[in-house]
């Protein structure tokens, strides 16, 4: 276990655990155009942090509960035909604002807000690692179990109904997965950048994938590459690690989009 | 025995009553077409049958273990979702390669397996949707305006394909269409819907019913006869081959 004594090894493992869980979920977020939905859920996490500290429970469970509540609320409103982009814009930012205000009420507790907004991957301990990988395995298990049903419901709800699949249940499964990923990712990239780790690897993988499965696997690989590259870069230039990981992912996205344009040109 | 039997169905969508006191049933092997003007509740009826909508009142009884093959009106696949034709056929459950190839062949989409769904033409797309619906070995094939976006020869060919498939698989077919003359001629029974069942029966009976004429005028009768003629003609050529 001496390997885990190295904070860099722990950081790399934590990051990889998060991107493995984020990859399939991120694909669904992209396919279903739920980017804002991911944002709202992630931003609500700060409120979860404040409540967890106030009631002296673990940050993981506080974030999980509040994210889940937010995700279920948004998911419920989706089915009632509200103007979603406006509503999500309201919910995402007010959740963040209420969270920040709630944190300021905490007395006697010194809260390093930056760590929750942008992550603190270098401070990941063994317990954090266990929580992250436990959550990641749960999320991956959920996707393994419901993959076909989720895909069918994503393509077309009526197609799902006709095959005996309830698309509302699949939506709930995604909602649950989203809350779990937010809860395990907050330590690694922070509430503000979780949505980036969902969307950027999936969007980067799109041009190279012919099937949904390949897109999810490619997203996982691209995410892992971003984590390792971001860690290296942050050591080398002494930059904040979470944002560095997102920067590497963004660069990979730019490369992938550029490559796609070149390929299209060459094919005429 | 009826595959689906509906009695006293009332459906409300967003406050408005879309279907009122509708009775409906379809038997094994039957081809039933639902016609009606826009907003008459045709698609709503289909969505109740597949279980996507809850009725406000009435009873919906499906035969035990009923397998439904559903071809939706439109299927928008987001361009961010990569999906080959072959992979699409594996939804919702994986199927062996041989079965997938046979279903594509049956639906007249033989050479498309490796193509991306978003790159298909309208006609190819509908055939792939049909192939996927056939893979579940359905007892009941449901088509909602399945020929939208096809030109007239294209949709006539599509409906011939449906009739062929029915003869081969023995499944019942329930269709909704606005192309009255084409679909009505191929049907065993036509239901004319306008929020409630206006009239129903054999195509000729419905086409001459006053309720139907009030909705669609008399213009379709000639076209119906014309199609009948083509229909016979096709069988003659086939027999000659």
pLDDT tens per residue, range B69-81:
999 887 889 999 9
Q: Which residue of A lies nearest to B44 if distances are taken between CA atoms? A: A158
Residue A210 pLDDT grade (very low, low, confident, very high; cuts 50, 70, 90): very high
Provide mean pLDDT across the span A137-142: 96
Reported as a single tens digit per residue, the pLDDT across A112-136 is 788 888 888 999 999 999 999 999 9
Residue B210 pLDDT grade (very low, low, confident, very high; cuts 50, 70, 90): confident
CB A122 within 8 A of CB B11: no
CATH homologous superfamily, domain A2-193: ABC transporter involved in vitamin B12 uptake, BtuC (1.10.3470.10)
Distances (CA, A) of A110 to A107, B60, B194: 8, 61, 68
What does the alpha-carbon distance between residue A71 and residue A92 come to, in Å, rounded to a whole number?
Answer: 11
- Chain A residues whose beta carbon lies within 8 Å of the beta carbon of residue B3: none
Q: Any idea which of A13-17, B53-57, B153-157 has the lowest mean pLDDT?
A: B153-157
Which of A149, A158, A206 faces B80 most closely, judged by CB atoms? A206
Provide mean pLDDT across the span A89-117: 82
Provide mean pLDDT across the span B161-180: 83
Q: Cβ separation of A152 and B80 shorter than 8 Å?
A: no
pLDDT of B184: 65
Taking the domain B2-67+138-240, which CATH number applies? 3.40.50.300
Residues 6+ apart with CB under 8 A from A221: A205
- Chain A residues whose beta carbon lies within 8 Å of the beta carbon of residue B93: 148
Q: Does B69 touch chain A (CB under 8 A)?
A: yes
pLDDT of B14: 81
Per-residue pLDDT at A264 exceeds 70: yes
pLDDT of B219: 53
Contacting A residues, span 80-119, partner chain B, CB-CB under 8 Å: none
Reported as a single tens digit per residue, the pLDDT across B111-131 is 888 899 999 888 888 889 989
Residue B218 pLDDT grade (very low, low, confident, very high; cuts 50, 70, 90): low
Provide mean pLDDT across the span B54-61: 90
pLDDT of A182: 92
The larger pLDDT score, comparing residue B165 to residue B235, is at: B165
pLDDT of B241: 35
Provide mean pLDDT across the span B174-203: 80
pLDDT of A81: 63
The larger pLDDT score, comparing residue A107 to residue A97, is at: A97
Q: Any idea which of A227-231, B39-43, B60-64, B222-226 has the lowest mean pLDDT?
A: B222-226
Q: Which residue of A lies nearest to B75 if distances are taken between CA atoms? A: A156
Provide mean pLDDT across the span A63-89: 81
Per-residue pLDDT at B19 exceeds 50: yes
pLDDT of B229: 36
Which of B51, B81, B92 faces A31 most closely, judged by CB atoms? B81
Which of A32, A33, A211 faces B84 most closely, judged by CB atoms? A211
ipTM rounded to 2 decimals: 0.85
Tokens of A33: 């155009």
Q: What is the 3-state secondary structure (H, E, C) of chain A?
A: CHHHHCHHHHHHHHHHHHHHHHHHHHHHHHHCCCHHHHHHHHHHHHHHHHHHHHCCCCHHHHHHHHHHHHHHHHHHHHCCCCCHHHHHHHHHHHHHHHHHHHHHHCCCCCCCHHHHHHCCHHHCCHHHHHHHHHHHHHHHHHHHHHHHHHHHHHHCHHHHHHCCCCHHHHHHHHHHHHHHHHHHHCCCCCCCCHHHHHHHHHHHHHHHCCCHHHHHHHHHHHHHHHHHHHHHHHHHHCCCHHHHHHHHHHHHHHHHHHHHHHHHHHHC
Residue A4 pLDDT grade (very low, low, confident, very high; cuts 50, 70, 90): confident
What does the alpha-carbon distance between residue A35 and residue A72 come to, in Å, rounded to a whole number?
Answer: 15
pLDDT of B37: 81
On average, the pLDDT of chain B sits at: 81
Provide mean pLDDT across the span A104-108: 77
Residues 6+ apart with CB under 8 A from B10: B17, B19, B20, B21, B22, B55, B56, B57, B58
Provide mean pLDDT across the span A159-172: 90
Per-residue pLDDT at A238 exceeds 90: yes
Per-residue pLDDT at A76 exceeds 60: yes
Provide mean pLDDT across the span B51-76: 88
Residue B181 pLDDT grade (very low, low, confident, very high; cuts 50, 70, 90): low
Q: Cβ separation of B47 and A158 shorter than 8 Å?
A: yes
Distances (CA, A) of A212 to A48, A159, A184, A219: 33, 17, 24, 11
On average, the pLDDT of chain A sits at: 89
pLDDT of A79: 66
Q: Does A134 touch chain B (CB under 8 A)?
A: no
Provide mean pLDDT across the span A173-183: 91
pLDDT of B137: 87
Per-residue pLDDT at A214 exceeds 50: yes
Provide mean pLDDT across the span A199-228: 95
- Chain A residues whose beta carbon lies within 8 Å of the beta carbon of residue B50: 158, 161-162
């Amino acid at each position: 276990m001496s390997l885990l004594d190295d904070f860099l090894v722990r950081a790399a493992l934590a990051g990889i655990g998060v991107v493995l869980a984020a990859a399939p979920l991120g694909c669904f977020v992209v396919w279903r155009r739920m980017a804002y939905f991911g944002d709202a859920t992630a931003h609500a996490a700060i409120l979860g942090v404040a409540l967890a500290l106030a009631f002296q429970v673990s940050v993981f469970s506080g974030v999980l509960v509040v994210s889940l509540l937010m995700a279920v609320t948004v998911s419920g409103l989706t089915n009632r035909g509200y103007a979603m982009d406006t509503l999500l814009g309201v919910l995402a930012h007010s959740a963040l604002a209420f969270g920040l205000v709630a944190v300021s009420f905490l007395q006697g507790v010194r809260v390093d807000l930056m760590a929750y907004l942008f992550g603190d991957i270098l401070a990941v301990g063994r317990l954090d690692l266990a929580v992250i990988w436990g959550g990641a395995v749960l999320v991956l298990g959920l996707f393994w179990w419901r993959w076909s049903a989720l895909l069918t419901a994503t393509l077309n709800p009526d197609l799902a109904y006709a095959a005996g699949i309830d698309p509302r249940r699949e939506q709930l499964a995604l909602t649950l997965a989203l809350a779990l990923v937010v809860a395990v990712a907050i330590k690694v990239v922070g509430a503000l950048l979780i949505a980036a780790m969902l969307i950027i690897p999936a969007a980067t993988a799109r041009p190279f994938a012919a099937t949904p499965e390949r897109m999810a696997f490619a997203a996982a690989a691209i995410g892992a590459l971003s984590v390792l590259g971001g860690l290296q870069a942050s050591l080398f230039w002494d930059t904040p690690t979470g944002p560095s990981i997102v920067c590497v992912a963004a660069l990979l996205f730019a490369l992938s989009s550029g490559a796609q344009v070149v390929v299209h040109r060459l094919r005429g | 025995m009826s595959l689906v039997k509906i009695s006293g169905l009332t459906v409300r969508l967003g406050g408005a009553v879309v279907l009122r006191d509708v009775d409906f049933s379809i038997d094994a092997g039957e081809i039933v077409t639902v016609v009606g003007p826009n907003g008459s509740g045709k698609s709503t009826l289909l969505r109740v049958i597949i279980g996507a909508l809850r009725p406000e009142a009435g009873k919906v009884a499906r035969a035990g273990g009923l397998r439904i093959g559903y071809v939706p009106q439109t299927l928008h696949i987001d361009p961010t979702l990569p999906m080959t034709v072959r992979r699409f056929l594996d939804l919702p459950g994986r199927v062996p390669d041989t079965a997938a190839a046979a279903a594509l062949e049956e639906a007249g989409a033989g050479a498309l397996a490796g193509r991306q769904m978003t790159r298909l033409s309208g006609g190819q797309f509908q055939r792939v949707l049909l192939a996927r619906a056939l893979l579940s070995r359905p007892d009941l094939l449901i088509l909602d305006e399945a020929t939208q976006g096809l030109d007239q020869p294209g949709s006539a060919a599509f409906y011939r394909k449906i009739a062929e498939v029915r003869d081969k698989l023995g499944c019942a077919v329930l269709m909704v269409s606005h192309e009255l003359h084409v679909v009505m001629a191929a049907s065993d029974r036509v239901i004319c819907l306008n929020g409630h069942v206006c009239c129903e029966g054999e195509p000729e009976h419905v086409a001459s019913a006053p309720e139907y004429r009030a909705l669609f005028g008399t213009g379709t009768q000639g076209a119906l006869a014309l199609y009948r003629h083509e229909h016979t003609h096709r069988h003659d050529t086939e027999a000659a081959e």
